[in-house]
Copies of this chain bind each other. A is one copy, B any other.
Amino acid sequence: MVTSTYQVTGMTCGHCVNAVSSEVGAIPGVSDVQVDLASGQVTVTSADALDTDTVRAAVDEAGYDLADA
């Protein structure tokens, strides 16, 4: 199991949290997504290390942006 934390910008409410959780949670191998609305931190648990571009694409699909590390 690998746990990675990403910074997402633009989330403003619980609906935004749900949208990001849903898209990131649909990435193959992801078993858990925890989103902290106040900080924008998204913590992802996956079987193997995730490609950042894959996470970025999922966040973008939800309508938000991954902040540069």
Contact = CB atoms under 8 A, between A and B. Distances in A.
Copies of this protein in the complex: 2
Interface in A6-43: 12-16, 18-19
Contact of A12 (B12, B19, B63): B12
Contacts of A63: 14
Counting contact residues on chain A (CB < 8 A from B), the size range is under 10
Interface of A: 12-16, 18-19, 63
A15 B63 CA distance: 11
Nearest to A14: B63
Contacts of A13: 12-13, 15-16
A61 to B, nearest CB: 14
